[in-house]
Structures are given as structure tokens and as C-alpha cells.
Amino acid sequence: MKECLIDVQNAVINMDDEIILDLVKKCLDEGLTPIGIIEEGLSKGLDGVGERFDAGDYFLAELIMAGEVVTVATDYLQTKMAPGESGKKGKVLIATVKGDIHEIGKNILGMILKASGYEVVDLGADVSAETILETMKDQDIQLVGLSVLLTTMVTSIKDVVEALTEAGIREKTRIAIGGACCSERLAEEMKVDAFGESAVAAVTIFDGFREALAAS
């Protein structure tokens, strides 16, 4: 692997927003493609951040900072891509469920997903099942991330699942949940496809969803 890509990875891991653009430009000068830089440099750097988060060495603050560093770099690389190239993994709809207006977790999820190459459609907080369904239909979205912090609002997740089922699109979609009161058990009870304990875990989950949907 070229040294400049390793430098990009390290800049992401070290959350160094001052040098990231110079490093990305250096990679381009050395003949690497924008998508190659995203996949081998930025994404691998984010993987490193995720490993540190899982190990308890990094926390939310570092995740957000690293996400910002990657976003700056990917926004720049988008301008250097050939027509038709996007480097995007597809759309993910994210929302805090009806009745809950806590947005921090959802915002962090959005930032990390965006940094990981997803186009994020953020509907905000206190979003009804109807609005989620409508947006998914209008924008042809299959992937959904629902955030809920309040123990009192978890059943709003079920409302979304039921709305998608009634509309006949549940089987073609994948839903992940996350937030302070969520768990594997809750995911099972709410009949969603996954529980993400962190924004880092969410990236792996949505990557898996994409593969599963592509294979189905």
C-alpha cells in the first residue's frame, strides 16, 4: 500500500483535520483514484477509529471528529470524480422515532454513515411512521436507521415496522435500531433486522444489509 494512503488512514485515526486535504491531494497527485482513496484510505482509517471505539480507547467525541475529517475529504474527492462515479453506497433514511426528540445519537449516526459513503436522508426527530413510509416510497429507500432514547417510546419502532408491512414493502427493506434503551432483545421484539450498539457498529450493519438486499 502506498505510503500516502497510510498517511490518510492515520490522519483519520488521529482526527487531524488540518492535514487531511493535503494528504488526499498528494494521493491524487500520485495517481490514485478518488474511489481508491475513499476505500483504501478514508474508510480504513474509519475502521481504525471504530476499533479504538470498541476497545474503549475512543469515545463519541473522537467518533464525531473523525467523521468530520472524513466528510471534508470525501466532499473534496466528490468534485474530482468522473461523471457517473459517485463512491456512494446508497441511501439510508435515519430518524428519531415519533414521541422522542433526542437527536444526538441520530446525528452522530448520520455523520458516520455519511463519512462511510452513504447518502443520508435525515428526517430529524419525532418522526411518524407515516412520514418515514412516505419518504421511503418517494425516494426509493430500502435502508432505515431508527433512533430512540426514551424507554417510553420504543413501541414507536413497532409502528414503523407495521406501516412498512401494511404497505407491502417490509421484505424489501432493512431496519436497524439504536439508542440508549435499545438492545438485541428489543430488536427481536420489535421485529427489526438489527440492533446497533454504536454508530460504528451501524456501518457494518448497513454494509451487511446492502449485501443481503443485493443477493435477494
Partner 1 sequence: MARDYQACHDRVANTILGGIPDRVPLYFLTSEDVSARIAGLTIREMMATPEILAEKSILVNDYLGGDGMSLAANPYCGPFEGLAFARANGKPEAFVWKDYTTPFIREGVVCKTEEDIENLVIPDHTKVEPWPTIFKAMSIVHEKTGMGAGNAAPSLTWSSVQMLRGSQAYLDVIQNPDLLLKLCEKIYESQWDYYQAFCKLVGTPSHIFEAAYAFNQHMLSFDDAWKFEGQFIARFAKASGLPMIIHNCGFKPYHIEMIEKLQEEGVYILAVNASHPLDLDWWVKFREKFPEITIMGGLHVNAEMESGTEKDVENRVKEVIQKLGGDGRLIITPTCCMPWRVPMSNIKAVREAVEKYGTYPINIT
Give the interface with partner 1 as residue ranges (CB under 8 A): 15, 56, 59-62, 64-65, 68, 99-104, 107-108, 125-126, 150-155, 180-181, 183, 185-186, 189, 197-198
Residue 90 Cβ vs partner 1, minimum distance, rounded to whole Å: 24
Least distance from partner 1 to the Cβ atom of residue 203, Å: 16
Q: Which is nearer to partner 1, 6 or 150 (CB)?
A: 150
206, with CB counted inside 10 A (0-12, 13-18, 19+), is buried
Report yes or no: 39 and 8 within 8 Å, Cβ to Cβ: no
**Which residues pair with residue 144 across a beta bridge?**
93, 175
Rounded to whole angstroms, the Cα distance separating 203 from 9 reads 17
d(CA 114, CA 136): 18
Minimum CB–partner distance for residue 34 and partner 1 (Å): 26
Minimum distance, C-beta of residue 198 to partner 1, in the bound complex (Å): 6
We find the least distance from the C-beta atom of residue 56 to partner 1, in angstroms, to be 6
Whichever of 69 and 136 has its CB closer to partner 1, that residue is 69
How buried is residue 72: exposed, middle or buried, by Cβ count under 10 Å (0-12/13-18/19+)?
middle
Sheet with strand 174-178: strands edge to edge: 118-122, 90-96, 143-147, 174-178, 194-195
Cell numbers given for 154: 420504543
**Grid cell digits, residue 73:** 475529504
Whose Cβ is closer to partner 1: residue 47's or residue 126's?
A: 126
Shortest distance in whole angstroms from residue 11 CB to partner 1: 15
Return the number of the residue (4 or 109) whose C-beta is nearest partner 1: 109
Residue whose CB is less far from partner 1, 14 or 142: 14
Cβ nearer to partner 1, comparing 139 with 151? 151
